[in-house]
Amino acid sequence: MAEAVTETILATMKNHFGNASSVHSFGQTAKSIIDAARGKVADLIGATPQEIVFTSGGTESNNLALRGVTGRISTKKRRIIVSAIEHEAVLKTVKDLDEQRWSISLVPADSDGLILPEELEKMITSDTALVSVMHANNEIGTIQPIKQLAEIAHNHGALFHVDAVQSAGKLPISVKTLGVDLLSLSAHKFNGPKGVGALWIKRGLRLSPHNTGGRQERSRRAGTENVPALSGFGVAADIAKQKLVEHSKTIGNLRDRLESGILSAVSGTVVNGTEKQRIANTTNISFDRIEAESLLIALDLEGIAVSTGSACSSGTLEPSHVLKAMGLSPHRTQSSIRFSLGLGNSQKHIDHAVEIMPRVVDRLRRLSFSGLRQ
């Protein structure tokens, strides 16, 4: 988290314990803190504060968008289209809706990890109620052509939701320019606290709430607000808005240094996903003849935290659904790791990672080769 975010959260925790729904002055102070945060989050995406519903993060925002829209559709439309490379918070949610008799279609990604507008055009029909495509992918960083995709959805009378959890605070976003109806974001992706996020709901669009109870968030999400976390969310949004270009340039330079360093120092490496249309902090690299999980552990021992971008469930390594959807071979999907950079990284970190990488990879390759001969 940014230092100013931590400081704000601590100060709010210490000094402002009121419940924002209370009428007394302690409550009203808490409410004014939430209102200020709402204004800053709205500003980050070019929205109005009334359109922002605070949630517990990106997962809940996606759930509220998908369940909220489908819970309210009164027409005979029964189809939802989402991309094949969505985060589980979208994929699992629509799968759950599927069981409630919604028909779900997956729009494919190409080998660069892009969702092409013509693919959506081919599969969309007049009975489509909702299309949901993420702005930037969390595993490979590819930025999708949201404006064109939303236009196609609207031309067929469907609503458009965008999961902007990976792009908000990193790319300049205007909900008006994107032309979408619903947008999810999460504070911890841009130096804010975990467990807090927002759903932007275009003015006039009604959703059925999935948290019912009190009248918080204009009856769109019941429950007493986490005032300290929201105060930190507001500060993170403010910093992101002011420093977005500068931060993404700094982080992008480090990412490029890391990527080109690894590609030239380690043989049998290749970047996954297009390098042209990507958020600045992500690179996903395949290491030939390496099991991703072993590399993750070996790097962790060296103090370098990476991710395989896939879930390791009950001891079985699940290949990434994103890389699979791009049509990559099993040996490439199972040998890929993701490096995500942030403001806490320096050139020293990058140079250290590039320096140790050939040794670590070489050792793993020799181990797996001797394992094969036994």
Applying the rule CB under 6 A, the residues between 172 and 191 that interact with ligand PLP are 186
Task: Quote the distance between the C-alpha of residue 64 and its chain's center.
Answer: 15
Sign of CA dihedral 345, 351, 352, 353: positive
Applying the rule CB under 6 A, the residues between 192 and 221 that interact with ligand PLP are 197
Residue 354 annotated as catalytic: no
Whether the Cβ atoms of residue 324 and residue 370 lie closer than 8 Å to each other: no
113 binds ligand PLP (CB under 6 A): no
310 binds ligand PLP (CB under 6 A): no
Q: How many residues of this chain interact with ligand PLP, rule: CB under 6 A?
A: 13
134 binds ligand PLP (CB under 6 A): yes
Task: Give the residue with the Cβ less far from ligand PLP, 187 or 357.
Answer: 187
Which span (144-152, 163-171, 214-222, 262-270) binds ligand PLP, by CB under 6 A? 163-171
- Exactly one of 10, 205, 312, 367 is catalytic; which is it? 312
163 binds ligand PLP (CB under 6 A): yes
Site string for ligand PLP, 45-64 (x = CB under 6 A): ------------xxx--x--
- CB of 288: closest distance to ligand PLP in angstroms? 27
- CB of 63: closest distance to ligand PLP in angstroms? 9
Residue for token digits 């998908």? 66
Applying the rule CB under 6 A, the residues between 326 and 365 that interact with ligand PLP are none
Give the 3-state secondary structure percentages of the chain, helix then strand then coil, rounded to 5: 45, 15, 35
Packed helices 347-373 and 292-301: angle between N→C axes, nearest 10 degrees: 130
- CB of 57: closest distance to ligand PLP in angstroms? 3
> How far is residue 197's CA from residue 208's CA, in Å, rounded to a whole number?
18
Q: Other CB atoms closer than 10 Å to residue 97's CB: what's the count? A: 18
Q: DSSP assignment, residue 319?
A: P
Site string for ligand PLP, 9-48 (x = CB under 6 A): ----------------------------------------
Q: Other CB atoms closer than 10 Å to residue 101's CB: what's the count? A: 7
Q: Other CB atoms closer than 10 Å to residue 7's CB: what's the count? A: 13
Site string for ligand PLP, 265-304 (x = CB under 6 A): ----------------------------------------
162 binds ligand PLP (CB under 6 A): no
Q: Which residues bind ligand PLP (CB under 6 A)?
A: 57-59, 62, 87, 89, 134, 138, 163, 165-166, 186, 197
